[in-house]
Chains A and B, each alone.
Chain A
Amino acid sequence: MDMVSFKGIIFIIAALIAVAASVLMATRKNPIHSALWMIVTFFAMAVIYLLLNAQFIAVAQVMVYAGAIMMLILFVIMLVQMEKGGKGDPGKTGRSAKTKVAGALITVILFGEMLFGALYYQTTGRSGDYPVEMVNSVGNVKTIGSLLYGQYLFPFEIASILLLVGIVGAVVIVKRKE
């Protein structure tokens, strides 16, 4: 597998941007900077989705994650920080550094397991009903749409009810009691 193809170069660049931006996201002190680096990560991952022939998901990623969810998070950060007066973490009470290091070590062990799985996995060799050429001749969005409104109609409706419940729940939670 020579990685000098055009797609390979784009993939490596997008992957490096995603990893670097997510590391910066997890380490910045200011939550606003974290949110902005998170948006960079989402854009890099949208590029990777495009390389993997998932155009609809790439656009949905940019619209839903980078657009809607991150805007919501930025609003809440500004709301919370403004009322606070820009003060940092006041109290030093919390989990000890030892506990944090132990948790991080366990997570790194988990990463080792994931690496093992990614390097030594085996597929059944059977391919699905939607090869890339066929999907691209019909259109990615059309194929997903016919699946969502056909085979996955019931989960789709459940998802819409879930969204409704989420909206009502959010309004009920933040409502001030008079």
Chain B
Amino acid sequence: MLQEIPSSLCFILSGILFTIGAIGAIIRRNLIVVFMCIELMLNAVNLVFIAAANALSSMDGSVFVFFIMTVAAVEAAVGLAIFVMVFRLQNTVNAYEVNLLKG
């Protein structure tokens, strides 16, 4: 009745979410939306970790996901600080107009 979900389905779902995130990160021009797409890709990887850990009856997946969340939080803090700084300097968050490093 309460049978487990086959992990292939979780892997396929994760692949779909990762692809949506990657295409969004390529196509979108707003830096913040690109950043959110990257967060979505990180979440897809988390899903694979959890599904594999559940299928293999291991606990390491949860611990790894915990560390990935930590890194994602730090990345969000530093990345958004960079976006605010770029907006102050360039008055835009359009990814194609931010060319400060182009000599």
Contact = CB atoms under 8 A, between A and B. Distances in A.
A95 B96 CA distance: 7
B39 A69 contact: yes
A73 B35 contact: yes
Interface SS of chain B: helix, strand, loop or mixed? helix
Interface residues on A, range: 35 or more
B81 A173 contact: yes
Given A69-B73, A103-B27, 19 more contacts: A25-B37, A38-B40, A41-B40, A45-B43, A52-B10, A57-B46, A69-B39, A114-B15, A115-B12, A118-B8, A119-B8, A121-B8, A127-B56, A128-B53, A129-B57, A163-B74, A170-B81, A173-B78, A173-B85
A72 B76 contact: yes
Interface residues of B, number: 78
Interface of A: 1, 5-8, 11, 15, 18-19, 22-23, 25-27, 31, 34-35, 38, 41-42, 45, 48-49, 51-54, 56-57, 60-61, 64-65, 68-69, 72-73, 76-77, 79-80, 83-84, 89-91, 93-95, 100, 103-104, 107-108, 110-111, 114-115, 117-119, 121, 123, 126-132, 135, 140, 143-144, 147-148, 152, 155, 159, 162-163, 165-167, 169-171, 173-174
